[in-house]
Homo-oligomer: A and B are copies of this chain.
Amino acid sequence: MASSGDHASNEIALEFQKKVLSRPMTEVRMMANAVRALAIDGVQKANSGHPGMPMGMADVATVLWTKFMKYDAADPHWADRDRFILSAGHGSMLLYSLLHLTGYENMSIEDLKNFRQLGSHTAGHPEREEHPAIEMTTGPLGQGISTATGFALAEKMLAARFGKSLVDHRTWVIASDGDMMEGVSHEACAIAGHLALNKICVLYDDNSISIDGSTEIAMTDDVVRRFIGYGWAAKRIDGHDPVAIEEAIKWAMRNRKPTLIACKTIIGFGAPTKAGTSGTHGSPLGNDEAAAAKALLGWTAPPFVVPEEVLTPWRAAGARGEGARRAWLKRLAGSNRRAEFDAAMASELPAAYSEAMDALRAKIAETKPNLATRVASQMALDAIVPVVPEMVGGSADLTPSNNTFVKSMGTCLPGDYSGRYIHFGVREHGMGTTLNGLALHGGLIPYGGTFFIFSDYCRPAIRLAALMRARSIFVLTHDSIGLGEDGPTHQPVEHLASFRAMPNVLVMRPGDAMETAECWDVAMHHKDGPVLMVLSRQNMPTLPRDHGAENLSARGGYVVIGAKHQRKATLIATGSEVAIAVQAHEMLAKEGIDVTVSSVPSFELFDKQDAGYREEVLGEAPRIGIEAAVGYGWDRYLGDNGTFIGMHSFGASAPYQKLYQHFGITAEAVVAAVKAKL
């Protein structure tokens, strides 16, 4: 490795460690040592993992979990619990140890012994689906601290709706140097500061060590100054001094701004030789250092054993919140908002929703508008948002282009969270993490808009939503060269393929106003993952299809126009290109060439249909695929004898009609492709 600075920081750390250990033993340190010992043991047994962070942050976490955080280990689903986010997800043994010590179900010593093994609850990084007390999946740095903005905003919005007697809790984050360096933390923490989300408290593990060595080799920015610039309150403390930790947390709880507590800690605290070095970050300590660390800490129990005198106060801490929870249940039971609150938390759609959707469909069927799908999406939102109070939305500074604002929503403001529209600023990534937090918190159905091209900027958040099955809805307009003059920097060509390849993501690219309404209807019922609504800038006609009650888009693909007699080809298109297929159909019909036009707004939904249905839509005749995007991935539908008409390069800057001509995505090209197959 290059000059790591480890040596100097190791010396300083060992000096600091000596000083801390010379202080009289406290109950906090004894309890924290249980966390350290379990973290050491879990990582040693797996022979893989990150002991350094749990050892360093054990004191801070112990103070938080034993004195301040509101939770009841008996019920991880309690809606008014404080949320705890381990942004530094590599320190997962910290969280697993805390859950075990405080007495959560399904986090036994056996579970800790199975750390990082197939099928365990104790994955390498905390996985939301593995345990109900894991509020979110973390590990990709920056995501936890940034998703906290969404959790905390959800609390504010729900408190504005239901009042403090039902909603009054905090969001706690443990974050690392890596979280601070990631750009997403800038975006989301600036949003949190702007919106004055004072119930976020970030406990920053300021341990001065990253994988390459001392943070001095790469990270010399002043984190405290930066956060003050965001409108946060921020201070530095000794992260091994229980009194200082306690005072700082009290300060945070009193504060009217979001708070950052930079806790000066020693990574791998307790390790006699490796403390304060990157050597403790991502590898087991080794048997000798592990044993010596326990000795230095005064921990004499065998591996994976927590002595009764330490476990007892921990279990008591885990039950500390029982009274608060029972009092809350009583308030909920006595509330006249109870049914509404329960429905919101279950994300049940009201009866008025179906009525609004039916009315929208009827209107489109009657008027057959010629609209951009982004405008059709606005129509859908205008119908849905007023009748679904859980819907909250916003845009990354493209409101007039994304068509995401509904008049009755009101704007979410610092200090007044009754408005449902959020101005995220030019912060796609921060928007993505905020949407995820809003979705994971429960009680809200969030959506956010940007240009489809800028999905690249929030891709890590979309992936994490997919992994966590968070129902964040992304409204992605300007979906192809059809946006015209802004040119190739703004024209997605590979983005459809890139998201179709991502598991658990529902990508929908509707081809007219009716499909747009249908796709929104699918999105509103889709609870187990993110949805991408991929929408056009340019207008397109309503398709000449059956406009009855069935949601044809929900099948992912369907026949728009069937061949009259014998199908000579199937034209398969999505979004704005379905209209080109329809136009080609007309031209071919004039020449007596009989073809079918199929629309495939969603590959994922279509792939779930039975083989017979899929075969009907795709047909046995030669298949022509048409999409203003690269063809990567289309072969699955086109087969060995198919032809793809689309993009083979980045786009260009010109009026969009010229671009369609220039890149050969035209009805004429489709006609020629069909004829070449005859």
Known contacts: A423-B218, A459-B456, A487-B127. The answer to whether A653 contacts B225 by CB under 8 A is: no
Inter-chain contact A464/B489, CB cutoff 8 Å:
yes
Q: In the assembled complex, which residues on chain B have CB atoms less than 8 Å from the CB atom of A504?
A: 649-650
What are 6 A-B pairs at a CB distance below 8 A?
Answer: A212-B397, A212-B398, A456-B463, A467-B488, A500-B632, A632-B633
Inter-chain contact A423/B212, CB cutoff 8 Å:
yes
Nearest first, the 7 A-B pairs at minimum CB distance are A183-B183, A218-B425, A186-B186, A139-B489, A118-B654, A635-B635, A123-B653
Q: In the assembled complex, which residues on chain B have CB atoms less than 8 Å from the CB atom of A453?
A: 140
Inter-chain contact B405/A1, CB cutoff 8 Å:
yes
User: Please, how many angstroms separate the alpha-carbon atoms of A230 and B218 in the complex?
Assistant: 11
Known contacts: A221-B230, A485-B116, A504-B650. The answer to whether A187 contacts B183 by CB under 8 A is: yes
Known contacts: A456-B463, A503-B650. The answer to whether A497 contacts B632 by CB under 8 A is: yes
A residues 487-502 with Cβ under 8 Å of B?
A: 487-490, 493-494, 497-498, 500-502
A48 at the interface (CB under 8 A from B): yes
**Partner-binding segment picked from A155-163, A174-182, A244-252, A269-277:** A174-182
A39 at the interface (CB under 8 A from B): no
By beta carbon, the residue of chain B nearest A46 is: B485
User: Please, how many angstroms separate the alpha-carbon atoms of A419 and B217 in the complex?
Assistant: 13
User: Please, how many angstroms separate the alpha-carbon atoms of A554 and B523 in the complex?
Assistant: 45
Using C-beta atoms within 8 Å of the partner chain, give the interface range for chain A.
35 or more
Inter-chain contact A190/B185, CB cutoff 8 Å:
no
A30 at the interface (CB under 8 A from B): no
A residues 200-250 with Cβ under 8 Å of B?
A: 210-213, 215, 217-223, 225-226, 228-231
A positions within 8 Å CB-CB of B? 1-3, 46, 48-49, 89, 116-120, 123-125, 127, 137-141, 177-178, 181-187, 190-191, 193-194, 210-213, 215, 217-223, 225-226, 228-231, 395, 397-401, 405, 409, 411, 419, 421, 423-427, 429-430, 453-454, 456-457, 459-460, 463-464, 466-467, 484-490, 493-494, 497-498, 500-504, 630, 632-633, 635-636, 639-640, 648-650, 652-655, 658-659, 662
A486: min CB distance to chain B, Å: 5
Q: In the assembled complex, which residues on chain B have CB atoms less than 8 Å from the CB atom of A662?
A: 118
By beta carbon, the residue of chain B nearest A122 is: B653
A1: min CB distance to chain B, Å: 5
A119: min CB distance to chain B, Å: 8
Inter-chain contact A489/B399, CB cutoff 8 Å:
no
Inter-chain contact B2/A125, CB cutoff 8 Å:
no
User: Please, how many angstroms separate the alpha-carbon atoms of A111 and B466 in the complex?
Assistant: 46
User: Please, how many angstroms separate the alpha-carbon atoms of A419 and B640 in the complex?
Assistant: 53
Q: In the assembled complex, which residues on chain B have CB atoms less than 8 Å from the CB atom of A652?
A: 118, 123
Q: In the assembled complex, which residues on chain B have CB atoms less than 8 Å from the CB atom of A485?
A: 46, 48-49, 116, 124
Known contacts: A140-B489, A501-B498. The answer to whether A183 contacts B181 by CB under 8 A is: no
A376: min CB distance to chain B, Å: 19
Q: In the assembled complex, which residues on chain B have CB atoms less than 8 Å from the CB atom of A226?
A: 225-226, 229-230
Inter-chain contact B177/A116, CB cutoff 8 Å:
no
Among B395, B397, B466, which residue has its beta carbon within 8 angstroms of that of A178? B397
Q: In the assembled complex, which residues on chain B have CB atoms less than 8 Å from the CB atom of A500?
A: 632
User: Please, how many angstroms separate the alpha-carbon atoms of A88 and B567 in the complex?
Assistant: 51
By beta carbon, the residue of chain B nearest A429 is: B183
